[in-house]
């Protein structure tokens, strides 16, 4: 059965965006450095990213994340899931939202789920095969998935950056213990994988 994995870059002070994220600057002011490890990777970063992308069978994201990636400065060849990779083989993406948008730039890629994160996971299982179901953000959706006990693993890419403000990861979640299972170091990020303890 597929693993459900939250996978996100986070600053040392716990932010997944800088201040004022929006369509033009999806990661907020100064937040673009959160993804430097994926856009200009070292050998270590490239191995981590490549392994995660190859293992992905389906992706889940929240509506605010979708609005950025489907916006004018978002995904498109060659930039998309997995950073600058061939997007013809991109995994299907399920967007958790209260209301689907009226227009979608890449409708072949996105499916909208209006009945919550657990339903999105079930939809993703139908297409993921043995691949991971990756919840890539945003922070609110990852927090909901954590609280609902949907996650098998948590992958954090800890970036040596202090943002001071922005969108905090795990701003409000119930306590839960995680077991560390894997760590990779590069100058751009410390890649941490944790397994949920049930």
Beta carbons of 55 and 129 less than 8 angstroms apart: no
Beta carbons of 142 and 155 less than 8 angstroms apart: no
Give the model confidence (pLDDT) of 150-165 as tens digits. 999 999 999 999 999 9
Instruction: DSSP letter for 82, please.
Output: T
Tokens standing for residue 58: 């389906």
What pLDDT does 78 receive? 56
What pLDDT does 80 receive? 64
The percentage of residues in the chain with a pLDDT greater than 70, rounded to a whole number, is 93
Bond prior to 138 in cis (omega within 30° of 0)? yes
Query: Considering the entire predicted model, what is its pTM?
Result: 0.92
What pLDDT does 104 receive? 87
């Amino acid at each position: 059965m597929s693993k459900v994995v939250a996978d996100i870059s986070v600053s040392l002070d716990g932010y997944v965006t800088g201040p004022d994220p929006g369509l033009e600057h999806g990661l907020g002011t100064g937040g673009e450095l959160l993804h430097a490890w994926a856009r200009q990777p070292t050998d270590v970063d490239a191995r981590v990213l490549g392994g995660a992308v190859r293992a992905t069978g389906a992706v889940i994201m929240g509506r605010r994340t979708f609005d950025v990636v489907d916006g004018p400065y978002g995904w498109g060849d060659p930039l998309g899931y997995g950073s600058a990779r061939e997007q013809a083989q991109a995994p299907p993406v399920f967007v958790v939202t209260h209301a689907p948008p009226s227009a979608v730039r890449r409708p072949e890629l996105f499916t909208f789920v209006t009945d919550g994160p657990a339903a999105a996971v079930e939809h993703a299982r139908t297409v993921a095969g043995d691949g991971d179901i990756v919840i890539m953000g945003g922070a609110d959706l990852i927090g909901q998935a954590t609280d609902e006990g949907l996650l098998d693993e948590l992958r954090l890419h800890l970036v040596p950056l202090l943002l001071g403000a922005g969108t905090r990861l795990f701003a409000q979640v119930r306590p839960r213990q995680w077991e560390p299972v894997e760590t990779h170091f590069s100058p751009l990020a410390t890649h941490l994988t944790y397994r949920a303890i049930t």
